[in-house]
Structure 1
């Protein structure tokens, strides 16, 4: 009998009971793109589409054990990291993942929610830079998060180029700077490669508030395409296109009373079956 395997993605992130962001968005995205989703819970935010009400921590040793349990059994082809809200948690995740250097890591440095709620402690930023940036193939901050990292205001595409250059100097291997918060009819994103090249992407901006979880979705989509064997540059392009279409197909749907979710399943793919060697 012939056997197969699925391209697997591990999502390490926080919870979202409203279903639009965090692990829920990760699992939906990974599944919609034909990959097998495994997950590790890093925190338990109490939130809905209107904002974050509270955040309850997960014991650090429990996070470590979750990662080890998954990696020992279902080795992923890519890893997505989302909400990591304390420096101790950063250290635990980085130390555990350093044992698996061949698995590409896509890191979405979640610091500010779509609602504008600050999700991260000040001391944690330095820990992210020192320990998680070096092991990540790509980081995907939004403009609010990039402004924190670059320590500057970002109001224009020119500001994005300057901020990206500053963030690269912090030691990350690749950077996708998402320009969705800029004024204008187009969304410009900049992909700073580790060879010094910068690729620019433009997408139409839609009149909608249904963008809750778009950052989580993007990083998971990129990780999913990497798990399928795409190059990082190709995964960056395809991941952005997926998010763009997910926003478009969910822009007129009312879910909750605040910032609604994307339509992750606008064109779901069957689970991809790869031959076992």
Structure 2
């Protein structure tokens, strides 16, 4: 029902806005086609549903690109940037909440208290550093509604899939590492638990650099702090207290980025 209403609204917009009628019709056709595709998955055999889901996800992503290639719809760059910023805050907050619940449960089991304190402190400071890094540069200046910015704004928008996914995975990784610390000594699984902390942080830095920082750079040297941080985060997987090491690296890249000329 929601997609039907959305398609109807696109058709209504097409009737009222002749210059952008091709765009609105493409949106209506795309939304309707995707809905029919999702319903059609119900009739596929079980072996064909997973590939079908992959195809439908790709179709959902491509509909806005295809529709607005016929002409851009009007929108306000500051408003769109704010929507993405608020969602990033929500995701980081959920990540902190997930890690907090896991660490609190681990403290209640009264095991490896020192390591848990290092994980809790490092994880909290990591969230602060990730937040600061994301907001280090304004996003709305990258979303000009000119024709030249058409491709760049889609890169910016879809690049946030990696920002959101890595921020969410960070909370799950911290929770997994807290669970690992409460297991008996010698239990296998140190490397996977550490990877759950360091890899999401590395992906977050890489994604934020790609969508937020790199378009603002004035010289190639501005890319060095983020590149060094990504490598350092991955190497921190094999060090004790990876959350504390990751926090130090993230804090360092925040300082380096904020000191660069905007």
Q: Determine if the TM-score, normalized by the shorter chain, exceeds 0.5.
A: no
Q: Which protein, 1 or 2, shows the higher relative CO under an 8 Å CA cutoff with sep ≥ 6?
A: 1
Give 1 or 2: higher helix fraction.
2
TM score, norm. by length of structure 2? 0.29
Give 1 or 2: higher strand fraction.
1
Question: Who wins on radius of gyration, i.e. which is larger?
Answer: 2
